[in-house]
Structure 1
Amino acid sequence: MSETVETASMIVRQCKRWTVITSVCLLASCGGSVNSNTTVPTSIMQIMQKPVYRNASWSMQVVDLDSGGVIYDLNSNTQMLIGSVRKLFSTGNAFNALGADHRFVTPVYRQGSVAPNGTLNGSLILVASGDLTMGGRANPDGTTAFTAFDHNEANALGNAVLTTPDPLAGYDSLAAQVAAAGITTINGDVVIDDRLFEPFNFRDQFDVRPIFVNDDLVDVTLAQSAGGAAVPFDWRPKSAAFSVQSTLTTGSATSKLAIDLNPESPTCIGAPNCVGTVSGNVPAGLVPPLTNAYPLVRTFRVTQPSNYARTVFIEALARAGVTVTAAPVEANPVQLLPAKGSYSSTQQVAQLTSATYAQDLRFVNKVSYNIGADVTLMQFGLAHNGSTTMANSLAAEQGELSATFNISPDQYHFIDGSGGGDTTANARAVIAMLRGMRTKPAFAPYFDTLPVLGVDGSLASINDFEADSTLAGAKGQVHAKTGTYVTENPAAPGTPILKGQALAGYIDAKSGRRIAFFVTVNNVPITGIPDVLKVFQDQGTIAAMLWKML
Structure 2
Amino acid sequence: MGSAHRFYTRGLGLFLALSLAACASHPGARYAANLDQVLADPALQGATVSLTVRDAESGAALYQHNPDSRLIPASSLKLLTTAAALDVLGADYRFATEVLGDGAQQGERLQGNLYLRGSGDPSMQAKDYRELAAAVARTGIRQVMGDLVLDDTAFDDQRLGVDWASDDESLYYAAQISALNISPNDDFDAGSVLVSVTAPAMPGAPLAVRVSPENRLMSLRNQGRVGTTDSLQVGREHGSNLLLVSGALPPGQARRHWVSVWEPTRLVADVFQQALAEQGVTVQGQVRIGQPTAPAARVLASHSSMPLAGLITPLLKLSNNNMSEVLLKAMGRKTANAGTAAAGVAAIEGFLRRQGLSPQGLVQVDGSGLSRRNQISSQSLSDLLLVARKQPWFATWYAALPVAGDAQRMTGGTLRYRLQGTGAVDNLHAKTGSMQGVSSLSGYLRAADGRRLVLVMLSNNYRVDGARIKALEDRVTQVLLQ
TM-score (norm 1): 0.73
2:231 is equivalent to residue 257 of structure 1:
yes
Specify which of 410, 416, 426 is matched with residue 460 of structure 1.
416
Corresponding residue for residue 276 of structure 2: 317
Unaligned runs of at least 5 residues, structure 1: 1-36, 137-167, 269-274, 287-293, 487-497
Alignment of 1:338-353 (within 5 A): 338-339=293-294, 342-343=295-296, 347-353=298-304
Contact 1:241-1:312 within 8 A present in 2 as well: no
Matching residue of 1:267: 240
Give the Cα–Cα distance (whole angstroms) in 1 for the partners of residues 254 and 232 of structure 2: 16
For 2:148 and 2:299, the matched residues in 1 are separated by: 14
Over 3 Å counting, the alpha-carbon distance change for 1:80 and 1:39 in structure 2 is farther
Whether 2:244 is the aligned partner of 1:244: answer no
Percent identical pairs in the alignment equals 27
Q: What is the DSSP-based 3-state SS (H/G/I as helix, E as strand, rest coil) of the residue aligned with 2:204? A: coil
Task: Please state whether the residue corresponding to 1:424 is helix, strand or coil.
Answer: coil
Confirm or deny: 8 A CA contact 1:231 1:249 kept in the other structure: yes
Cα-to-partner distance string for 1:492-518 (whole Å, 9 max, x where unaligned): xxxxxx2x2000011233322222110
What does residue range 122-271 of structure 1 map to in structure 2 within 5 Å? 122-134=112-124, 136=125, 168-202=126-160, 203=164, 205=169, 208-214=177-183, 215-225=190-200, 227-253=203-229, 257-263=231-237, 265-267=238-240
The number of aligned residues is 431
1:234 aligned partner, one-letter code = R
Larger relative contact order, structure 1 or 2 (CA cutoff 8 Å, min sep 6): 1
Give, in angstroms, the shift of residue 436 of structure 1. Answer: 1.0
Given that residues 51 and 64 in structure 2 are in contact (C-alpha distance below 8 angstroms), is that contact kept between their aligned partners in structure 1? yes
Q: Which amino acid aligns with 2:425?
A: K
Structure 2: how far apart are the matches of 1:88 and 1:100? 15
3-state DSSP of counterpart to 1:106: strand
Mapped pair 1:483 → 2:433: yes
User: Could you tell me how far 1:245 is from its partner in structure 2?
Assistant: 4.2
- Cα pair distance change 1:96/1:399, threshold 3 Å: closer
1:358 aligns with 2:296: no
Aligned residue in 2 for 1:291: none
TM-aligned CA deviation for residue 523 of structure 1 = 1.9
Aligned residue type for 1:180: R
Q: Is the Cα–Cα contact under 8 Å of residues 361 and 449 in structure 1 kept in the other structure?
A: yes
487, 490, 514: which one pairs with 2:452?
Answer: 514
C-alpha deviations, 1:241-291, integer Å up to 9, x for none? 2243422113334xx72515341x4436xxxxxx42312234x489xxxxx
Spell out the pairing of 1:80-159 with structure 2 (5 A cutoff): 80-116=71-107, 118-134=108-124, 136=125
* Contact 1:257–1:281 (8 Å) recurs in 2: yes
| Distance in 1 separating the partners of 2:336 and 2:30 | 43
State the Cα deviation string for residues 292-332 of structure 1 (Å, max 9, x = none): xx6422233212122221111111112223233346xx552
Q: How far apart are the structure 2 equivalents of 1:170 and 1:324?
A: 19
Q: CA deviation at 1:179?
A: 1.2
Alignment of 1:494-513 (within 5 A): 498=437, 500-513=438-451
* Greater C-alpha radius of gyration: 2
User: How far 1:39 moved relative to its partner?
Assistant: 6.5
Distance 1:316 1:458 in 2: 35
Q: Which of 237, 246, 260 is matched with 1:279 structurally?
A: 246
Q: Which letter does structure 2 place at the counterpart of 1:351?
A: S
CA distance in structure 2 between the aligned counterparts of 1:186 and 1:444, rounded to whole angstroms: 47
Cα distance change on mapping 1:183 and 1:285 into 2, 3 Å: closer
C-alpha separation in 2, matches of 1:285 and 1:63: 54
Counterparts of 1:285 and 1:453, CA distance in 2: 37
Q: Residue 39 and residue 201 in structure 1: after superposition, are their counterparts in 2 closer, same or farther (change >3 A)?
A: farther
Name the structure 2 match of 1:20.
Answer: none
Cα distance, 1:224 vs structure 2: 4.4
Distance 1:457 1:418, change over 3 A: same
Q: Which moved more, 1:37-46 or 1:511-520?
A: 37-46
How far is 1:343 from its partner? 4.3
SS at match of 1:382: helix
2:112 counterpart letter in structure 1: G
Residue 91 of structure 1: how far off its partner (Å) = 0.8
The 3 A distance-change label for structure 1 pair 295 and 459 is farther
1:13-36, Cα deviation, whole Å (9 max, x unpaired): xxxxxxxxxxxxxxxxxxxxxxxx
Secondary structure, counterpart of 2:247 in structure 1: strand
* Corresponding position of 2:22: none
CA distance in 1, matches of 2:38, 2:315: 30
- Whole-Å Cα distance in 1 between the matches of residues 320 and 398 of structure 2? 17
Q: Secondary structure at the match of 2:461?
A: strand
Normalising by the residue count of structure 2, what TM-score does the alignment of the two structures yield? Answer: 0.83
Query: Residue 60 of structure 1 contacts residue 75 of structure 1 at CA under 8 Å; is this kept in 2?
Result: yes
- Tell me the residue number matched to 1:152: none
The alignment status of 1:446 with 2:446, answered yes or no, reads: no
Q: Over aligned residue pairs, what C-alpha RMSD do you find?
A: 2.5
- Equivalence for 2:352: 401
Give the Cα separation in 2 of the matches to 1:105 and 1:333. Answer: 17
Check the 8 A contact 1:407/1:432 in 2, yes or no.
Answer: no
Pick closer, same or farther for the CA change 1:234–1:537 going to 2, 3 Å. Answer: farther
Q: For the Cα contact (< 8 Å) 1:235–1:244, is it kept in 2?
A: no
The answer for the alignment partner of 2:289 in structure 1 is 332
Q: Distance in 1 between matches of 2:394 and 2:356?
A: 14
The residue type paired with residue 462 of structure 1 is: R
Is residue 52 of structure 1 aligned with residue 47 of structure 2? no
SS at match of 2:116: strand
2:331–2:339 contact (8 Å) kept in structure 1: no
- For residues 280 and 240 of structure 1, the distance between their equivalents in structure 2, rounded to whole angstroms, comes to 24
Contact 1:39 1:72 survives alignment (8 Å) = no
User: How far, CA to CA, are the matches of 2:439 and 2:290 in structure 1?
Assistant: 44
Change (3 A) 1:402 1:302: same
Query: Secondary structure of 1:183's partner?
Result: coil
522 and 333 in structure 1: CA distance in 2 versus 1, 3 angstrom threshold: closer
> Per the alignment, in what secondary structure is the counterpart of residue 146 of structure 2?
coil
Partner of 1:389: 340
State how far apart, in whole Å, the 1-side matches of 2:46 and 2:272 are.
Answer: 53
- In the alignment, the residues of structure 1 paired with residue 234 and residue 447 of structure 2 have an alpha-carbon distance, to the nearest angstrom, of 46
Report SS of the residue matched to 1:200: coil
Change (3 A) 1:260 1:311: closer
Matches within 5 A, 1:12-91: 40-91=31-82
In 2, the alpha carbon distance for the partners of 1:396 and 1:39 equals 40
Give CA deviations for 1:428-450 in whole Å, capped at 9, x if unaligned.
10011111111111111111221
Give the whole-Å Cα distance in 2 for the aligned partners of 1:534 and 1:285. 35
